[in-house]
Chain A
Amino acid sequence: MRRLGAALAVAAVALAAGCGSGGDGGDAASGGNGQPVRLRFLSLAWQKESIEANKQIVAEWNTANPKIQVEYVQGSWDNVNDQLVTSFEAGDPPDVIHDDSPALSSFASRGFLLDLTGKVPAGLKNDIPQAAWDTVTFSDGKSGQGVYGVPFLQESQVLIANKKLLDGAGVRLPTPDAPWTWDEFADVAKKLTKKGAYGVAWPMKSPVNKVLNLALNFGGTFFDTQNGKTTVKAGAQEREVLQRIHDQLYTDKSADPSALGMGTADPLPGFFAGKYAILPAGVYLRQQVAEQAPSGFEWVTLPPLKGVTSQQGAVSQTLSVAADSEHSDEALKFIAYFLNGPNQAKLAKGDWLLPTSTTAAKDPALTTEENGWDVATASAKDLVVAPFLKVNGYDEWKSKVATPAMQEYFADKISLDELATRLVEEGNKVLERYSR
């Protein structure tokens, strides 16, 4: 029987898709007859402090708005895509959806998300800079453009370093105004490499977003859109960061090859033990460093590296409203409250990420020197829209083509030219499916 499993599963979901639009909203009574409107809010918060902050804000809202009651639904980043695809297809999605901007593009083009253009209250709209709004502006799958979420938390790539080792090597400490260039970084990493200890550890279990975001340092965009048709490119600008990381691994030998298979947080035990002096990581990793560091361990957050520019691709976490939601106005009201300045400051602190809200960024707790908040918050100014956000089919390119190819390149199994050929040729084949 199991040989029919896949066919059955696909059929079942497609059946549901066929009759889905008719059968939703059974329990969602309208506000007219005195019953409160009920909204479901799918949250992906996973750090303890962050879940607390989320639940606290929801509870405050529910107390203040007896007419609009929000139910907190816990989701997980691991399977949110599958969960959303099935609930969208079944016509019964959560009203308010927490996700991140790379995921929105494909949902938006399939018509699952509500276009928020002109619907976001002015206060919230003006509090978030246009650069952040750009990360959630996508094609609607036909001819137009729309805003498909409210961006609220952003991540930048910084360096987390062992202060004692840096001081011992006598290197210049970078500041947000005078960051290390990639050349300087390579020199420092070499200086910090001694017997049994490496200057840097590049955890590259999921290399693609990291490389693509950093590639903007040298103007590498990886995608080229002309006349509505997107193709992959891997020219000199795109290759720069790839080559430099590869050099650290195999030419300078200042990066530990055995860290390549690790996830972002996996090198921490080695970092605490002095085996790695510098960890390139997203700002959120500071939370684990602060929490797990042995007493007396001194660490600093260093600003992002500079290539031609310090620009990095920005990916935001977002709140969106489902197109099938029966209470989209109420959902927007809730989002406007959930993401106001003070609340964004709470959420940013809970997740150790950067708020998009300009009011929240001024919160003293987010500009203190403690735990590198000042450096992290300052790095937000160089965040620009990651070009891959707008690419339909990026997810498939990433998991089928780019991830295995980059992993093999960093493991020194294929050359840079081979990598570039694979990214482009196999990649274009993948993207073609989506432009039909």
Chain B
Amino acid sequence: MTALAERPYGGSRGGPQGGSQGGSQGGRRSRGALALMLPALVPVLVFSVGPLLYGILLAFTDARSGRNTETSFVGLENFAELLSDGDFWESFRIGLVWGLSVTVLQFLASLGLALLLNQDLRLRGVARVLAVVPWAMPPVVIGLMWRLVYHPDAGLLNGLFGTRVDWLHDFSLALPAVIVVGVWTGMPQTTVVLLAGLQNVPKELYEAVSVDGAGAWRRFWNVTLPQLRPVIVAITSLDFVWNINQFSLVYVLTQGGPGGRTRLPMLFAYEEAFRYGFFGYAATLGVAITIVVLAVLGLYLWRQAREAD
């Protein structure tokens, strides 16, 4: 940054003052740089950093919905309440089950699809486009579509199997049913990234192991996977963050029901804020989930980095 900022000044300045008052020039220089950066910074500050700080601040208050409410600072009370809140832990557990299973299944299915699409098949272009289609659909539309698939009377699934199961309202089936939709929704981006990774694997490596007499499985295990490793780490960690914070898809499918069996952490926070009106507590939830996600992610990336060394 300093190198970039120096150039215009260096050009225009020159003359007798040059280099004589280094300290004050440095100050002016950075002030000038700040002025130039301001137009870019303002939107970031106003629309991103501001609300974020406000949200974090809110987590330490007892803010509630209402015209006649008074908000006061309560310190860590919300966090203490959160730790002893059985519903939160249940929702957190569901969030982890959902986040992990969707991420893992998504990865396995996408890897298979990516390997397939990397082969020299006929109509490969069409197949690749088709694989990306779910990406083009907004989550709400996906939710509505799958609600029709799962519909107990008119649904595709019951029609196919001749069953009469109410997939999204059954206590034990709702979460698996929602996870399937989650996997389906997230497959395109994972597939595309893995496919790009596959195409970057040098052909020579395959030729070399083929010369050594390795079969398809050994080629995959000893060449493809190690080569893909950085891509896999990146996409699975991103997927995990996206998935555990999923909201719209599940909101449309089940609204967290039946009996809270699909109430992901973000749905829980939403209910606290907009249904029951506890804004402060909901903000606490948001902060807590952020901390947890960062911790899980940090641990995962740290382990991956250590193993790679």
Interface residue A13 (Cβ < 8 Å from any Cβ of B): yes
Cβ contact within 8 Å between B275 and A81 = yes
Known: A11-B51, A12-B51. A261 touches B166 (CB 8 A): yes
Task: Report the Cα distance A21→B69, complex, angstroms.
Answer: 13
Are A6 and B66 closer than 8 Å at their CB atoms? Answer: no
Provide the bound-state CA to CA distance between A11 and B285, in Å.
Answer: 13
- Looking at chain A's contact residues, is the secondary structure mostly helix, strand, loop, or mixed? helix
Say whether A142 contacts B68, CB under 8 Å. yes
Residue from B87, B241, B275, B283 within 8 A of A10 (CB atoms):
B283
A10 and B66 in contact, given A82-B274, A82-B275 (Cβ under 8 angstroms): no
Binary interface profile of B, 287-300, with partner A (CB < 8 Å = 1, else 0)?
A: 10110010000000
Residue on B nearest A110 in the bound complex, by CB: B66
Q: Is the C-beta of A433 less than 8 angstroms from some C-beta in chain B?
A: yes
Mark interface residues in B240-266 (1 if CB within 8 Å of A CB, else 0): 011011110000000000111000001
Alpha-carbon distance between A82 and B64 when the two chains are bound, in angstroms: 15
Interface status of A229 (Cβ within 8 A of chain B): no
| Cβ contacts under 8 Å, B289 to chain A | 3, 6
Task: List residues 70-87 of chain B with CB under 8 A from any CB of chain A.
Answer: 86-87
A205 adjacent to chain B (CB < 8 Å): yes
Q: What are 19 of the A-B contact pairs (CB < 8 Å)? A: A2-B241, A3-B245, A5-B266, A7-B283, A8-B55, A9-B270, A14-B54, A15-B51, A82-B275, A85-B65, A88-B67, A106-B277, A110-B64, A261-B169, A261-B258, A396-B275, A396-B276, A404-B258, A408-B259
Q: Which residues of A contact B282 (CB under 8 A)?
A: 6, 10
A142-B68, A404-B259, A407-B258 are known contacts. Are A14 and B63 too (CB-CB below 8 A)? yes
Task: Give B61 Cβ to nearest chain A Cβ, in Å.
Answer: 9
Q: Which chain B positions have C-beta within 8 A of A7? A: 51-52, 55-56, 58-59, 283, 286-287, 290
Cα of A185 to Cα of B58 in the assembled complex, Å: 54
A86 at the interface (CB under 8 A from B): yes
Quick check: B68 and A111 within 8 Å, CB to CB? yes
Does A323 belong to the interface (CB within 8 Å)? yes
Contact residues in A for B278 (Cβ distance below 8 Å): 433
Contacting pair A110 B54 (CB below 8 A): no
A5 neighbours in B (Cβ, 8 Å)? 245, 247, 266, 286
Within 8 A of B (CB), among A2-38: 2-15, 17, 21
A396 to B268, CA, bound (A): 12
Bound complex: CA of A426 vs CA of B69, how far in Å? Answer: 26
Complex interface: chain A residues within 8 A of B52 (CB): 4, 7-8, 11
The answer on a CB contact under 8 Å between B260 and A6 is no
Cα distance A12–B289 in the bound complex, in angstroms: 18
Q: Could you say which residues of chain A place their CB within 8 Å of the CB of B258? A: 261, 404, 407
Expressed in whole angstroms, the Cα–Cα distance for A105 and B235 within the complex equals 47
Asked if A11 meets B65 with Cβ closer than 8 Å, knowing A81-B275, A85-B277, A433-B278, the reply is no
A112 within 8 A of B: yes
> Closest Cβ of chain A: how far from B275's Cβ, in Å?
6
Which residues of B are found within 8 Å of A85, using beta-carbon distances?
65, 274-275, 277
B170 at the interface (CB under 8 A from A): yes
Minimum CB–CB distance from B95 to chain A (whole Å) comes to 12
**How many angstroms from the CA of A10 to the CA of B246 in the assembled complex?**
16
Given contacts A10-B58, A10-B282, A89 and B65 within 8 Å (CB-CB): yes
How many angstroms between the C-alpha atoms of A88 and B66 in the bound complex? 8
In this complex, what residue of B is CB-closest to A142? B68
- B92: chain A residues within 8 A (beta carbon): none
Q: Which residues of B contact A205 (CB under 8 A)?
A: 169
- For B107, the chain A residues whose CB sits under 8 A away are none
* Contact B54–A11 (Cβ < 8 Å): yes
Residue in chain B with minimal CB distance to A14: B279
State the CA gap A7–B170 with chains docked (Å): 31
CA distance A426 to B283 in the complex (A): 23
Answer whether A407 and B51 are a contact pair too, CB < 8 Å, given A10-B58, A17-B65, A85-B277. no
B97 at the A interface (CB under 8 A) = no
Please give the residue numbers on chain B whose beta carbons come within 8 Å of chain A beta carbons, in ascending order: 51-52, 54-56, 58-59, 63-69, 86-87, 153, 166, 169-171, 241-242, 244-247, 258-260, 266, 269-271, 273-279, 282-283, 285-287, 289-290, 293
CB-based contact A6/B58 at 8 Å: no
Q: Could you say which of A2, A3, A5, A81 has the most chain B C-beta atoms within 10 Å of its C-beta?
A: A3
Q: Which residues of B contact A8 (CB under 8 A)?
A: 51-52, 55
Most buried by B among A10, A13, A112: A10
Rounded to whole Å, the gap between the CB of B259 and the closest CB of chain A is 3
Since A7-B286, A10-B283, A17-B279 are in contact, a sample of 10 more A-B pairs with Cβ atoms closer than 8 Å, ordered by chain A residue number, is A3-B289, A7-B51, A7-B56, A13-B274, A21-B67, A109-B66, A111-B66, A112-B67, A400-B260, A407-B258
Q: Bound complex: CA of A11 vs CA of B51, how far in Å? A: 6
Q: Is residue A50 within 8 Å, beta carbon to beta carbon, of the partner chain?
A: no
Cα A265 to Cα B86 in complex, Å, equals 34
On chain B, the residues within 8 Å of A134 by CB distance are none
- Whole-angstrom CA separation of A261 from B257 in the bound complex: 12
CA distance A10 to B274 in the complex (A): 9
Choose one: A6, A112, A408; the contact of B286 (CB below 8 Å): A6
- How distant is the Cα of A82 from the Cα of B255 in the complex, in angstroms? 12
- Whether B58 pairs with A14 at a CB distance below 8 angstroms is yes
Tell me if A179 counts as interface (CB < 8 A to partner B). no
The residues of B that contact A89 with a CB separation of less than 8 Å are 65
Partner of B54, one of A15, A112, A141: A15
Shortest C-beta distance, B297 to chain A (Å), equals 10
Which of B65, B247, B270, B286 makes the CB contact (< 8 A) with A4? B286
CA distance A10 to B279 in the complex (A): 6
Measured CB to CB, the closest approach of chain B to A206, in angstroms, equals: 10
Measured between alpha carbons, how far is A88 from B17 in the docked complex, in Å?
61
B165 to chain A, nearest CB (A): 10
Q: How far is the CB of A412 from chain B (nearest CB, A)?
A: 13
| Known A6-B286, A8-B52: A110·B279 in contact at CB below 8 Å | no
Residues of A within 8 A of B270 (CB): 6, 9
CB of B162, distance to nearest CB on chain A (Å)? 16
